[in-house]
Structure 1
Amino acid sequence: MHPAFVRSLRAIAAPLAAALVAVSVPVALAVPAQAQQCTEHAAPPAPVDTSEKPKPGQTVPPPLPVPAQPVGGERLGSCGTVLPPGAPALPEGDTSASWVVQDLDSGAIVAAKDPHARERPASLIKTLLALVVVTELKPDQVVVPTKEDAEQECTCVGIAAGGHYTVDQLLHGLLMHSGNDVAHAFATVLGGVDAATAKMNALAARIGATDTRAATPSGLDGPGMSTSAYDLSVIFHYAMKQPEFAQAVATKAYTIPAVDGKPAIPVFNDNKLLGVYPGFLGGKTGFTNDARHTYVGGAARDGKRLAIVMMRAEQRPTRVVDQAAKLLDYGFALEKSGAQPVGQIAYHSLTTESAPTADREVAPAGSNSAAGAATQQPDAFGTTGWVLTLIVLVIIIAGFVIGYRRKRSARS
Structure 2
Amino acid sequence: MWTKIVPITAFIASVSLTSGTAYAAPTTPVGGEALGSHGLVSPDGVKKPPKSKATSYVIADVGTGQVLAAKNAHGRYLPASTLKALTALTLIPKLDRNRQIRPSRNACNQEGSAVGLSVKAKYKVEDLFKGLMMSSGNDAAMALAETNGGLDKTMRDMNAEAKRLQANDTVAKTPSGLDKPGQSSSAYDLALIARAGLANPDFKRYISTKTANFPAPKGKHYQISNHNKLLWRYQGMIGVKNGWTSKAKASFVGAATRGGHTIVVSIMRHEGFFWDEVAKLLDWGFSVRGKATPVGKLVDPLPDPQAAAQPQASTSVTPAAQPALLDRAGSKQTDSTRTMGALVIGGGLLFGLIWLAYGIRRKRGRSRL
The 5 Å alignment of 1:203-214 reads: 203-214=161-172
Deviation of 1:162 after TM superposition, in Å, equals 4.5
**Distance in 2 separating the partners of 1:265 and 1:80:** 45
- The amino acid across from 1:107 in the alignment is G
Kindly indicate whether residue 55 of structure 2 is the aligned counterpart of residue 97 of structure 1.
yes
* Cα distance change, pair 353–215 in 1 and its aligned pair in 2 (3 A): farther
Kindly indicate whether residue 268 of structure 2 is the aligned counterpart of residue 311 of structure 1.
yes
On the 8 A contact 1:79/1:113 being kept in 2, the answer is: yes
Deviation of 1:143 after TM superposition, in Å, equals 2.3
The residue aligned with 1:403 is none
Structure 1 ranges of 4+ moved more than 6 A = none
Deviations 1:221-273 (A, max 9, x none): 11201110001111110011111110111111111234x51531321011111
The residue aligned with 1:84 is 43
On the 8 A contact 1:206/1:354 being kept in 2, the answer is: no
The residue aligned with 1:184 is 142
Deviation of 1:84 after TM superposition, in Å, equals 1.1
The residue aligned with 1:285 is 242
The residue aligned with 2:27 is 68
Percent of pairs with identical residues: 40
Deviation of 1:330 after TM superposition, in Å, equals 1.0
Equivalent in 98, 106, 117 of residue 64 of structure 2 = 106
On the 8 A contact 1:203/1:350 being kept in 2, the answer is: no
**Distance in 1 separating the partners of 2:185 and 2:111:** 22
- The amino acid across from 2:222 in the alignment is I
Deviation of 1:351 after TM superposition, in Å, equals 5.3
On the 8 A contact 2:8/2:36 being kept in 1, the answer is: no
The residue aligned with 2:277 is 323
* Cα distance change, pair 221–345 in 1 and its aligned pair in 2 (3 A): same
On the 8 A contact 2:166/2:302 being kept in 1, the answer is: no
Deviations 1:129-172 (A, max 9, x none): 00111121122122220111111102000111152211111111
**Distance in 1 separating the partners of 2:306 and 2:40:** 35
Residues matched between the structures, number: 294
Deviation of 1:89 after TM superposition, in Å, equals 2.6
Deviation of 1:352 after TM superposition, in Å, equals 4.4
**Distance in 1 separating the partners of 2:149 and 2:26:** 31
The residue aligned with 1:346 is 299
Structure exhibiting the larger radius of gyration computed from Cα positions: 2
On the 8 A contact 2:121/2:215 being kept in 1, the answer is: no
Equivalent in 142, 153, 161 of residue 111 of structure 2 = 153
Give SS of 2:43's match. coil
Deviation of 1:103 after TM superposition, in Å, equals 1.1
- The amino acid across from 1:348 in the alignment is P
- The amino acid across from 1:152 in the alignment is Q
Deviation of 1:67 after TM superposition, in Å, equals 5.3
Give SS of 1:275's match. helix
On the 8 A contact 1:207/1:350 being kept in 2, the answer is: no
**Distance in 1 separating the partners of 2:243 and 2:219:** 28
On the 8 A contact 1:157/1:265 being kept in 2, the answer is: no
**Distance in 2 separating the partners of 1:327 and 1:35:** 31
**Distance in 2 separating the partners of 1:192 and 1:174:** 17
Equivalent in 232, 249, 273 of residue 190 of structure 2 = 232
**Distance in 2 separating the partners of 1:193 and 1:175:** 19
TM-score by length of 2: 0.75
The structure where strand makes up a greater share of residues is 2
Deviations 1:309-363 (A, max 9, x none): 0000021xxx211110011111111115x112111111124754699xx9xxxxx
**Distance in 2 separating the partners of 1:157 and 1:103:** 32
- The amino acid across from 2:139 in the alignment is D
Aligned Cα root-mean-square deviation (Å): 2.4
Give SS of 2:233's match. coil
Deviation of 1:275 after TM superposition, in Å, equals 2.1
On the 8 A contact 1:146/1:162 being kept in 2, the answer is: no
Q: Which runs of 5+ in 1 are unaligned?
A: 1-30, 40-65, 359-412
Give SS of 1:89's match. coil
Deviation of 1:33 after TM superposition, in Å, equals 2.4
- The amino acid across from 1:339 in the alignment is A
Kindly indicate whether residue 219 of structure 2 is the aligned counterpart of residue 219 of structure 1.
no
